[in-house]
A and B are shown apart, each in its own frame.
Chain A
Amino acid sequence: MTSSPPVQSEIGRPRPREETRRLLAGRGSYTDDVDWPGQLHAAFLRSPYPHATIAAIDTAEAEAMPGVAAVLTWDKLATVCKPWQTVSLAFPGLRSPVQHPLANGRAAYQGEPVALVLAASRALAEDAIEAIAVDWEEQPAATDLATALDPDAPLVHPELTSNLAWQYERASGDVDALFARAAAVVSTRLRFTRHTGVPLEPRSVMARFDPDAGILDVRMSHQMPHQMQLHLASFLDLPMARVRVHAPHVGGGFGIKMHVYQDEIAVCAAARLLGRPVKFVADRIESMISDVHAREHEVDARMAVDADGRILAFDIHDLHGLGAYSVYPRSSTMETLSALRAIGASYRFDGYRARADIVLQNKTPTGQYRSVGHPIACTVTERLVDLAATKLGIEPLEMRRRNYVRIEDMPMVNAAGAHVFDLSHHACLERLTTLIDLPTLRAEIDAACATGRLLGLGFAAFVEFTASGSEVYGSARVPVAASDTVVVTLEPDGSVRADASVSEIGQGITQGLAQVLADAIGVPVARVQVQAGDTGRTPHGGGAWSSRGAAIGGEAAWQAGLRLREEILKAAASLLQADPDALDIRDGVITDRVGAARMDLAAFAETVVFRGHELPPGASPQLTVAHTYRRPQDSAIPVNGIQAALVEVDAETGLVRCLRHWAVEDCGRILNPLLVDGQIRGGIVQGIGEALYEACRYDPSGQFVTGTLADYLLPMAGEMPDITIAHVETPYSGSALGAKGAGESGTCAAGAAILNAVNDALARHGGSVDTLPITPMAVLAALGRRVAEAA
């Protein structure tokens, strides 16, 4: 760089997201908002059984129905589409069979797509589905987590010898000796119920194939269009250059829209086969049963502490219910590893042993969902810490304070193999204590409890590993992009256009990048236009996952912007016969170092683009530059924080009311506090949902019974507490901007804080709950009211 770094005035500014205006006015362009001429509407016949072989499918009557163009099964799609199988070097020996876009002779989960109807309207397609005659032979189904590995358990996939998908073990330190010499050992068995992400916009895809050009054109609601481009090219045997995937406005993803789905591939294959555009918009009923589920775990956990309450070791066994298939391409087992790595990550400890049994089930496949395994780790860890604090008579926050990783300890690799650095536990804790005014709050709680009310205060400290680097999937030979690229152009009118490889899924990252570019180049943010999500236009990159937008995309934008600034100043200097070091760009004007205007950026751009002959000889300004950022060190950037929840338990009904919630978090350099706070709030709400409301439930025969939003309880605004957020900013020391991941940490700790708060309330009566979501029946049972057996 020739000049000193530009003044930063946009980075850190709480600008409202520009795009929101358009969305609120109803002028968004979601996948379903566009219609292609001649398009057919897709509807799927899905297996009503958790496990069934298909002896025959008779589609003749359906094909003859009005408006029906085709009824497809796997054998027809097989002519244009390959099946796939999840394989990852990170999970050697992973057992997950081949997946077909439409079930091939056997449905392994209720909701698995079996036949695809293409018709003139969705209603007509659904009429035709009723006319398809399937000769089902029900098979025994394995859905119960606890018995999935029993020798007599039904096999989820008969070609496999057991239901064990993968097994994992890791140990460090002499764990048995540490437990033997411990002053106290606490243990718990925590159950986490499967739940799912429920984006407001359901999964949607439309595809058309031009047989003359050999081009597949796809619009889909997805978090990583480039990944889908890669897979569609592979499955449909097309060159990548002939596959375009465009994710327009996306109405929420949360990880649900990261994966390869059978029905979406079937739609693209159908478009290829039929030569007509096909549109599929999942309705809520099929979304509930076919969107990936997540977080079905039963964790047995022990923690050893010494007489001063210092944590010595963790011993964890995780039984994880994976579903019928390990999700493609990343593998559902990532959730297990993500959980186990983060156990105890806020603290110092010497010994660690973790074992995981990951089991197949005749249930919907599971996959990444906001914060992935971290909520499991945080809930388990923070519950153990509370149990130890109680056992030793140490105040809960003091317990954490005593055990936190300190500044002087970092960087370090802990006994779980997690690399922690640039964290700020003590600072966040002090900030929280001030924020909640702990002494006054405790007095209020005591006063309320004296009148017979049952209030509880719970804490959850967390570390979350964000912005995964290429080590995570690359070394596993799974083709997931971990670097991001920003291409930035100075337009002839002095405005700036950027194409970024991140994905805008409603989190506002394009707004954040616009602010970064505005500062890097020196133009007003209103003159910066950032596009994302279109393989036809934006470079290949990671999309939106692992909270990477600011930490990785932001770096790419910063470096690209600085490069463009340098190009501009170099050429402007020769035009103005000045030294590039003597020039600056501020607010869209090329100035001298004290800010006196020398040349308008628009005038400069016009000169370069239209009157290049006026440039001095040898000047060849590049007004389009690109920068690819791959973080050169650290396979993840840890972030930290602490949350507190105040709840009230109704001792008569068992219902839990959230009264207040606080979060102090450190996501490093904040690009836009409005965006970050929005992410944290939303994440906290989803964590509260996991703790108190949401459950994907199956009856004993394996039938999915929470298939509508009347049964599946989403957290609603009326029940949510005021959420107060404060930030500590410890920049990531390994990048120019210092931004870390912010999008998922709200979810990481919120459920843990709620569980600890409820157990704080129940502790006054000697009971506790150990299953999420916390049901009113479980609360009453913990209070000793034997009025209800567990559902």
Chain B
Amino acid sequence: MTGDGWHAVSLSNGIEAGCSAGTRLFDKEIVLWRDTDGVAHAWEDRCPHRGMRLSFGFVRGTHIACLYHGWQYDAEGQCRFIPAHPELKVPGTIRVTTYLCRERLGMVWMCNSPATASAGPAVAERVVTPVRSIHADCPFNTAVSVLAGHGTVLDQGVGLLSIRAGELSLLIAAQHYGDARTALHVVIEGAHDSYGSTAQIAAATWAEQIRLELESQAAPAAEAIAHRRALR
């Protein structure tokens, strides 16, 4: 499968307890949600009942419920409750595809191969200060090569880079969102106490600049593709 292994898909603070949100990995729709015990989950973004996206749903305790008909799934992806049939013992076959999910470097990571059990992403844990996630309309490989011009690729496999931005040392994990879109998850190396909000604002502004740079790189390529298609 394309993109086996671990990928950062959000900052940890991008998924609050009791909340869900959608994302994509290699164009595959993923729901990220955090139960009220604080555990993050990454699943296929699809309710088995009617195919509704679970990222539209709502979290109650350690269950997530589909917005359409309220079918509730436990933390293992097993359907536990169907409101229209409250007495029914739900068959074990009604399950959502789940992915392994871990948190490192202030980010949520998921393993894009359900069968592969693994300890977690091969990145050393360190103390970080969250900045933001930012999406750029730019292919993943272009994004990583442009970012590499600003710093060092720490791990090509998980898309992790170390970048120097002025006084700040940033860690950035790149996410292959879709063919033409990359998400960057940006944190500052070091504790919040030693940086504070001024550094976070500076890093966020730097990320906005990088988005401009990535999209100006990607725009000519997108035009060239459109041009080639037009010639066909």
State yes or no: do A and B come from one complex: no
